[in-house]
Structure 1
Amino acid sequence: MPKLTGKDVGEIGYGLMGLTWRMSPPPQAQSFEAMRTALSLGASNWNGGELYGSPERNSLHLLNEYFTKYPEDAEKVVLSIKGGIVPGQMKPDGSKEGIKRSIDECLRVLDGKKFLDLFECARVDLDVPIEETVGYIAEYVKAGKLGGISLSEVSAKTIRKAHAVHPISAVEVEFSLWVTEILENDVAATCAELGITLIAYSPLGRGFLTGRYQKFEDLEEDSYLRTLPRFQPDVFGENIKLYHAVEDMAKQKGVTPAQIALGWVLYHSGKPGLPTIIPIPGATTSARIEENMKPATLSEEDFKALGKILEKFSVIGGRYPEAMSHHLFV
């Protein structure tokens, strides 16, 4: 069983972003039901963010409410929260003042209802050396206010610099059939070498690999996905070919494309030269969570077949708009 900060967690975690970071978030009762379902099925590594919503309403507020109602669940969950940003903006702030503000705010809103197991800066502040930022966070770990430190969207070089200052517990990066860079840019290999767990966010390609969206027009009018290069009308038709190829395999195996996609991520976990990898699919309904918690078991032949699919159907477009791309793998 995987571990984070010395605590056992399931092989699949749970991403909380969709419960608060959208124009019309689900009702509290639906969110609570989804959270309880995830935990009951073994998804005990929960991943949220101070930036997932507004300063007045984000993951932390929902978590406070959840653990107020279900205090018995607090010890069962290993919680990771992203912060280190200017409030209300998507601008990284890795300064001493910025880190102190962010962690103190996270702890204030949690109000002792849940221990903060992991804190990570959502992105690296290009104006502050990572060694300094990690040093500021480490003071909270030493004081017993945090369980450990995680990094997000960082390069192998940055991981090494940070780990030299204080042991890094986890590195969160996007990883899926849709996004495979970490297998080629030394991020996964470096995590394996240093014994760092890799947290794979958006393992279902932001919903693309579930088949929910068959064309650009299927995206909700207020969807953030409409801003992403890979979802644009001029490339959507080409990119959907990858989904259909995975769909064909799923039909043959009697599972869903999403279960194939999650099985593919898990197939890499702990393989020679690769770290423990924990995917954290997000979902707002119990039904979707139940599906995600039953990943397909892939054989070596299945894995090779998916490799051929990836060679044949290259994904077109960047992961984020150009203005945000300079914060990836820095």
Structure 2
Amino acid sequence: MPWAPVEYPVASGLLKAALEQGANFWNGGIHYGTPTANSLHLMKYYFDRYPEDAEKVVLSIKGAFSAAGPVGSPEALRASVKEAVKVLDGSKTIDIFEMARVDPNVPIEISVQALADLVEEGKIGGIGLSEVGAKTIHRAHAVHAIAAVEVELSLFTPDPLNNGIALACQELNIPLIAYSPLGRGQLTSDIRKLEDLPADDFRRKKPRFAPEAFEQNVKLVEAVSHLAEHRGFTTAQVAIAWVVHQGAIPIPGSTKMERLVSNSRAVSLSQEDMSELKDIIDSFPVAGERYGGAHEALLNM
């Protein structure tokens, strides 16, 4: 696990507060953690304690991703779903199951048909896709209705608005889910210099947090923070509101109660605000790839 673990009782309290704030789309992954302590184990812990919340939450789980990369064969997908269902042990249904990435060695039609069979069998409620291109969305949807498409979308990564992904989702009436709406925490405005990150923080390995890229990228943060301060909002609230304005569902994460509550507060941006944010994006292009290396090659497939 690349981030600091949070004890289940603490995490459970955060989840309860998030639901009370209206955040009922919960996203996790089988590979978010270890085989014996990942998102599914936390969900099992939570719903065993709050069974009345199971019907209130839309649970989206990513899977079919190994150390070697995505595995999209029917056998691998069935095994991944079987493992997820086993861990949840009846405490909560999987409303949406996502392939964490498209397997470049398996046609998307084959993978989606395998998931469609699992929907028919009642193992999962719907099919999600993650980091897929517009053509793949159309191909997948032709096999079975797609319940959600998850991509990175933020002021740091507005790419889906320009490469056809958002348009494809709009045309097919597929909810667009925005992960990392706060640019992996940089748009909270708490990270103004690399020294603000612990020496062992996993983000230091990401290209956008390399020293030369960070120096460029903090310029965008400072510009957004200036707008937020003028409007009486936090930088994070502006960043999340921008994502919502694009028609997407943001899924920010937090381990701090006060930040969770603040980020859940809906704020409205004016057309003037949106125009200024567009100018900021155009004036301060983001430096560095999102992942780099082999993981970068799996994006927008």
What TM-score do the two structures reach when normalised by structure 2? 0.98
One-letter amino acid matched to 1:74 = A
Question: How many Å separate the matches in 2 of 1:189 and 1:283?
Answer: 29
- Which sections of structure 1, spanning at least 5 residues, go unmatched? 1-20, 270-276
2:274 equivalent to 1:306: no
One-letter amino acid matched to 1:256 = T
Aligned counterparts, 1:113-132, within 5 A: 113-132=91-110
2:296 equivalent to 1:325: yes
Aligned to 1:42: 22
Question: How many Å separate the matches in 2 of 1:43 and 1:266?
Answer: 13
Deviation at 1:295, TM superposition (A): 3.4
Deviation at 1:28, TM superposition (A): 1.6
Root-mean-square deviation (CA, aligned residues, Å) is 1.0
Aligned to 1:106: 84
Deviation at 1:24, TM superposition (A): 3.0
Aligned to 1:289: 260
1:180 to 158, 164, 167: 158
Q: Secondary structure at the match of 1:36?
A: helix
Question: How many Å separate the matches in 2 of 1:217 and 1:110?
Answer: 39
Question: How many Å separate the matches in 2 of 1:198 and 1:23?
Answer: 25
Does the CA contact (< 8 Å) of 1:85 and 1:98 recur in 2?
A: no
- Which sections of structure 2, spanning at least 5 residues, go unmatched? none
2:125 to 142, 147, 152: 147
Post-superposition CA distance 1:267-313 (Å, at most 9, x none): 121xxxxxxx1011111122111011113310001100111111111
2:9 equivalent to 1:33: no
One-letter amino acid matched to 1:47 = N
2:168 equivalent to 1:197: no
Post-superposition CA distance 1:143-169 (Å, at most 9, x none): 112110000000001001100110001
Aligned to 1:52: 32
One-letter amino acid matched to 2:264 = M
Deviation at 1:26, TM superposition (A): 1.4
Deviation at 1:221, TM superposition (A): 2.4
Question: How many Å separate the matches in 2 of 1:314 and 1:321?
Answer: 17
Count of aligned pairs between the two proteins:
301
Deviation at 1:90, TM superposition (A): 5.3
Does the CA contact (< 8 Å) of 2:134 and 2:164 recur in 1?
A: yes
2:113 to 135, 138, 144: 135
One-letter amino acid matched to 2:163 = N
Question: How many Å separate the matches in 1 of 2:68 and 2:134?
Answer: 23
Does the CA contact (< 8 Å) of 1:227 and 1:321 recur in 2?
A: no
Deviation at 1:186, TM superposition (A): 0.5
Deviation at 1:211, TM superposition (A): 1.4
By relative contact order (CA 8 Å, sep 6+), the higher-ranking structure is 1
Q: Secondary structure at the match of 2:170?
A: helix
Aligned to 1:75: 55
Deviation at 1:224, TM superposition (A): 1.7
Aligned to 1:315: 286
Question: How many Å separate the matches in 1 of 2:169 and 2:48?
Answer: 35
One-letter amino acid matched to 2:286 = V
1:241 to 204, 209, 219: 219
Question: How many Å separate the matches in 2 of 1:123 and 1:155?
Answer: 11
Aligned to 2:229: 251
Does the CA contact (< 8 Å) of 2:3 and 2:202 recur in 1?
A: no
2:232 equivalent to 1:261: no
Post-superposition CA distance 1:225-278 (Å, at most 9, x none): 111111111221111010100111111111100001011111121xxxxxxx10
Does the CA contact (< 8 Å) of 1:176 and 1:203 recur in 2?
A: yes
Report percent identity of matched pairs: 49
Deviation at 1:217, TM superposition (A): 2.2
Does the CA contact (< 8 Å) of 1:198 and 1:278 recur in 2?
A: yes
Structure 1 60/90 Cα, relative in aligned 2: closer, same or farther at 3 Å? farther
